[in-house]
Amino acid sequence: MTDSRTDVLETVWEHVVERFREQGFAHPADARLSFDPTRHDSCRHFAATTTDGAEVLVAPALADMPYQTMLAILAHEAGHVEDLCCPGVWWFRNGRLLRSEFPSKGARKLVRAWEERSDDEVERVADALAEVALGQKIGYVGHSGCLVQFVGRGKKRPTGLR
Ligand SMILES: [Zn+2]
C-alpha cells in the first residue's frame, strides 16, 4: 500500500527513529513500520506496537491529523518499542521515568515485576521515553471521549485512558 499518507507517516517515523537514536535508544530503528487501517478503531486509536516490540502498526488516517499529533503518536509507539525490547529496565513511578540498575541476582524477579506493571504505567513509560527523545512534553488534547497526543501542549494523560 503506498499513497501520500503512508509516505508522510514513513517520513515522520524516520525522524522519530533518528531522535531516539540521538538519545541512545537504538531499538526503534529495528522495528518494522506497517500500515493497517483497522488500527483506527476509535477516534483516538491510530497505532499499536506488537508485544515483542518488533512491529509498529499504523492507520493511514493518522496522516490526516495535525503534525504534532502524528509526531506524538509515532514517538509514543517508538517508546513502546524501546521499552518492550528492554525487559525490566523502564518504570514510571511517582510521576517520573526510572531506569533499573540491572542486578546480577534477582533479574528474573525484576523482569516479572516489569511484566506486571499496570497498563497506565506502561503507557506513561512510552510517553516519557518519547518526551526524552523529542525533548518536548507530550500532552493530550481534544474532548474527553477522544483525547489524542500532541507535542508541546495539552493535559496529562488521564489514568485509565485506553
Ligand atoms: Zn500506548
Q: Record the pTM.
A: 0.94
Q: Is residue 161 part of a domain?
A: no
Q: Is residue 108 part of a domain?
A: no
Ion ligand 1 neighbours (CB, 5 A) are: 123, 126
Distance 56 CA to ligand 1 centre (A): 11
Q: Is residue 159 part of a domain?
A: no
Instruction: Supply the pLDDT for residue 2.
Output: 56
Contact between 28 and 14 under an 8 Å Cβ cutoff? The reply is no
Cα–Cα dist 142/42, whole Å: 14
Q: Is residue 63 part of a domain?
A: yes
Domain count, the chain: 1
Distance 2 CA to ligand 1 centre (A): 25
Instruction: Supply the pLDDT for residue 144.
Output: 75
Tell me: the pLDDT tens digits for 109-159? Answer: 999 999 999 999 999 999 999 999 999 999 999 987 899 999 999 999 989
Q: Is residue 45 part of a domain?
A: yes
Q: Is residue 18 part of a domain?
A: yes
What is the CATH number for 47?
Answer: 3.30.2010
Instruction: Supply the pLDDT for residue 47.
Output: 97
Distance 105 CA to ligand 1 centre (A): 30
Distance 110 CA to ligand 1 centre (A): 22
Strands 96-99 and 90-93: antiparallel
Domain that holds residue 19: 4-85+121-151
